[in-house]
Amino acid sequence: MEDNIIEIKNVKFKYEAEDENDIVYALKGINMNIKRGEFIAILGHNGCGKSTLAKLINAQMIPNEGDIIVNGFNTKEEENIWDIRKTCGMVFQNPDNQIVATIVEEDVAFGPENLGIPMPELRERVDDALKTVDMYEYKMHSPALLSGGQKQRIAIAGILAMNPDCILLDEPTAMLDPNGRKEIINTITSLNNSGKTIILITHFMEEAILADRIFVMNEGLVELEGEAKKVFSNVKKMKELGLDVPQVTELAYELKINGFNIENGVLNIDDLVSEICK
């Protein structure tokens, strides 16, 4: 059996409503296995259950039915919460919601300090985390004076300093300009290359194509799953779900339905050029 860091088994979740007739399941039976060191992207339009799933993985909520196992720990057992959050750190959409201190290095130290990490290891962890996200030179700055992309990198450093095996990012680039987005995606890919498991919830198809596997969610269920080429070959299905595909993939699809002999699974300009040149 392959080494799964996260196992999601037939998970259902409903939010409480005043009227029982209004109760709707946000998740209706999700099954996912995520391997150690994998880069996973989760796609889906607003309200499909992506953020609910993220909070369940991070043990902020527990499933009504089914189980989530993080590194061998079931999220339903309260005594496991700290082990789960040490294994799987979460980065939110708005970095301002995650930054708690007035000096960058103090903010990055906040998590590991609460875990009881002693000096000089704490100092080392903070410095290493800031170097990893390329923000070491800003360690004495105020986070309030940083750009959106820099703040998000500080939020990631704060998680890194806790040394989790897995980092769960809930639309971390949604509030950033193209430069900020690029900074964060470069940081995420280099963390994955260094062995961290990455779960990225995103609206941007250009980010999703970097993942090893993609899960596409719709109305509380997984509709599509697989490598980027396989998922984005389903252009018609993606459109039906209200989602885009990368621009180049769409162009290749349009050429194909207009009679050009082009293979499915074109993800970038080089792919398209080689298909056309054939």
CATH number of the domain where residue 209 is located: 3.40.50.300
In a domain, 44, yes or no: yes
Tokens of 163: 């040394």
CA distance 266 to 274: 10
In a domain, 220, yes or no: yes
Give the model confidence (pLDDT) of 110-131 as tens digits. 989 988 889 999 999 999 999 9
- Order of strands across the sheet with 4-14? 25-35, 4-14, 65-70, 73-74
In a domain, 145, yes or no: yes
The total number of structural domains that make up the chain: 1
In a domain, 240, yes or no: yes
Residues 147, 116 contacting (CB under 8 angstroms): no
Chain mean pLDDT for the chain: 91
Read off the pLDDT of each residue in 236-263 and give the average, rounded to a whole number. Answer: 87
Predicted structure pTM score:
0.91
Nearest CA to 239 out of 225, 226, 249 is that of 249
Nearest CA to 242 out of 256, 223, 258 is that of 223
Residue 162 has pLDDT above 50, yes or no: yes
The residue count for the chain: 278
In a domain, 193, yes or no: yes
Nearest CA to 53 out of 71, 35, 75 is that of 75
> Which sign does the torsion angle of CA 202, 205, 209, 215 carry?
positive
Give the structural domain span for 175.
4-245
Nearest CA to 6 out of 79, 77, 57 is that of 57
Residue 65 has pLDDT above 80, yes or no: yes
In a domain, 106, yes or no: yes
> pLDDT at position 57, please?
95
In a domain, 278, yes or no: no
Name the band, by pLDDT with cuts 50, 70 and 90, for residue 2: low
In a domain, 156, yes or no: yes
Read off the pLDDT of each residue in 186-192 and give the average, rounded to a whole number. Answer: 93
Give the model confidence (pLDDT) of 13-53 as tens digits. 998 877 777 778 899 999 999 999 999 999 998 889 999 99
Beta-carbon contacts of residue 239 (< 8 Å; ≥ 6 apart): 245
> pLDDT at position 1, please?
39
